Amino acid sequence: MEISSYALIIIFSVTIIISYFFNLFAKKSGIPSVLMLIVLGILINMGLTVAGIKNPNLPLILEVLGVVGLILIVLEAALDLRLLKEKVGVIIKSFFVAFTGLGTTAYISALSLNFFLEIGLLKAFLHTIPLSILSSAIILPSIDNLDEHKKEFMVYESTFSDILGIIGFYS
């Protein structure tokens, strides 16, 4: 069973409306709306599979939307950044924390996949890089209650993590 273009437009519109309500709920609950949207996507996919509806073939559209989404996430985080001479120490520390955290998490996760699932180490490493990113889409909504110094550090660190993860994955 094929989904019509009208049905896709309705589905995308409903998803945007649900996203708005997830944002409202996220402010009260502290759960990032991105995580709720990921769970919603998984549930929709499971529902389509159970209902016997064939998933639409949208690889080009999804690739473009994914790249635009990544750019918007990094640019949104960049809006909170202030590049001043006295902040060089915080910027360098946050870069090394992001690099170390991303590399260590991806490497340990890759070793786990290699050991338990017997996947080649390089392939396992490539699979774990996106999961190891401390994305600003998740970090930024969660840092409202921190003091200004910690908040600034987390903004820099999540931005560097996004950028390093993107570079590492696409390399």
Cβ atoms of 81 and 160 closer than 8 Å: no
Looking at residue 152, its pLDDT comes to 84
Residue carrying structure tokens 């990921």? 38
Looking at residue 77, its pLDDT comes to 64
Looking at residue 17, its pLDDT comes to 93
Looking at residue 139, its pLDDT comes to 81
Looking at residue 1, its pLDDT comes to 55
Q: Which amino acid is at 48?
A: L
Looking at residue 93, its pLDDT comes to 94
Q: Residue 39 in 3-state DSSP?
A: helix
Looking at residue 80, its pLDDT comes to 64
DSSP 119-131: --HHHHHHHHHHH
Looking at residue 159, its pLDDT comes to 84
Q: Residue 35 in 3-state DSSP?
A: helix
What pLDDT tens digit does each residue of the chain (171 aa) get? Answer: 566 778 878 878 888 899 899 988 988 887 888 888 889 888 988 888 898 877 767 777 777 877 787 777 777 666 767 777 888 899 899 999 999 999 999 999 999 999 999 999 999 998 899 888 887 777 877 777 788 888 888 888 888 888 888 888 777
